[in-house]
Amino acid sequence: MLLLAFVLAATILFVVLRVLGNPVYSLISVGATKEDIAAAAARLGVDRPLIVQFGDYLRQLVTLDLGNSFTSGLPVGPEIVRRLNVTLPLTLLSFALSMVIAIPVGFFAAWKSRTWYGTAFSAVSQVTGAIPVFWVGIILVFVLALGARIFPASGFPRTDWSDPGAALYALTLPVLTIAIVAGSELARYVRSATLDVLGQQYMRAARATGQSFGSALRRHGVRNGIVPVISILAIQLSTTFVGAVIVERVFALPGLGDMLLSGIVEQDFPSVQGVLLFSTALVLLLGFVADVIQRILDPRLRASLSGNRRVRAAA
């Protein structure tokens, strides 16, 4: 099923790219003759009939060969792996940090929702979640990098992860940027989920049987409340990845997002295909894993769905 979804995605991507783009003109410059343009098209293989190109594309995918970049001639697969060095830690750290921020904040905002400081937390997360991620980055750079020279304004060390201290230092502001925005959104979800849980029957029932609030929450509340939150975690990861694309531009980080943007600007089909297929595969996989976890945690879903995993809580 997953495989089918992936193949479908790959096909749609192929079609969309070829309908919309024309990579030849990114290679040539003013002064090129008609023969030059034709030669460039031949070299890229884009002058062949679409079916032939599609056949090649599928054949390469099967062997996990993502082809060579149209503009640089370098193989796409190894390039993606190299760039993951930057984007994977960036995404994971941001994701982790956003959860570390969001879960306590969301919970607190729900628990104290009747008080002014609870509403304050809620209000602040509304505002921070509304700031476009690139502006958060710009502000952080302005204050912490240009103003108080605590962090670098941009760049990722050429020593890569052989000097983890330097790498983390360079990633601090970018991670913070994404975490603030993604965390605010997550905090609102957590708050909503917690409010739901706090008002639910099983909480009252647990309290009525004499359990302490804390234990009732731990035993029933968290387990039930976490189910809808997990369902959006996969989407959160996707959001974090998109955030990474923009943040990599702000902080000049040589990651997958930068590769995608350059590929789009240069009409480099293999690079764009490679990054998008990779990220789609990743999110599909994570969605699948999230489904499994959900089903394990929530017996209601297990019983009523029996194989049809589609009818979930609207998310």
Interacting positions 63-82 with another protein (CB under 8 A): 71-74, 79, 82
Query: Do the Cβ atoms of 177 and 140 come closer than 8 Å?
Result: yes
Distance, in Å, from the CA atom of 173 to the CA atom of 160, rounded to the nearest integer, reads 17
**Quick one: 252 or 297, whose CB is closer to another protein?**
252
* Binding-residue total with another protein (CB under 8 A): 120
In the complex, what is the shortest distance from the CB of residue 64 to another protein, in angstroms, rounded to a whole number?
A: 19
Name the H helices within the chain: 2-20, 24-27, 34-44, 50-62, 76-111, 116-130, 133-140, 164-199, 201-208, 213-216, 222-250, 256-266, 269-297, 299-305
Query: Do the Cβ atoms of 260 and 275 come closer than 8 Å?
Result: yes
Q: Is 17 in the site for another protein (CB under 8 A)?
A: yes
Q: Which of residues 237-296 bind another protein (CB under 8 A)?
A: 238, 241-242, 245-246, 249-252, 254-255, 258-262, 264-267, 272, 276, 279-280, 283-284, 287
Write the DSSP assignment of 34-49 as a string of letters: HHHHHHHHHHHTTTS-
Q: Give the side-chain half-sphere CA count within 13 A for 237.
A: 21
In the complex, what is the shortest distance from the CB of residue 313 to another protein, in angstroms, rounded to a whole number?
A: 6
Q: Which of residues 31-50 bind another protein (CB under 8 A)?
A: 31-37, 39-40, 43
Tokens for 269, please give them: 């089909």
Span interacting with another protein, options 49-57, 89-97, 118-126, 172-180, rule CB under 8 A: 118-126
Q: Which of residues 157-196 bind another protein (CB under 8 A)?
A: 158, 189, 192-193, 195-196
Q: Is 235 in the site for another protein (CB under 8 A)?
A: yes
Q: Is 88 in the site for another protein (CB under 8 A)?
A: no
In the complex, what is the shortest distance from the CB of residue 100 to another protein, in angstroms, rounded to a whole number?
A: 20
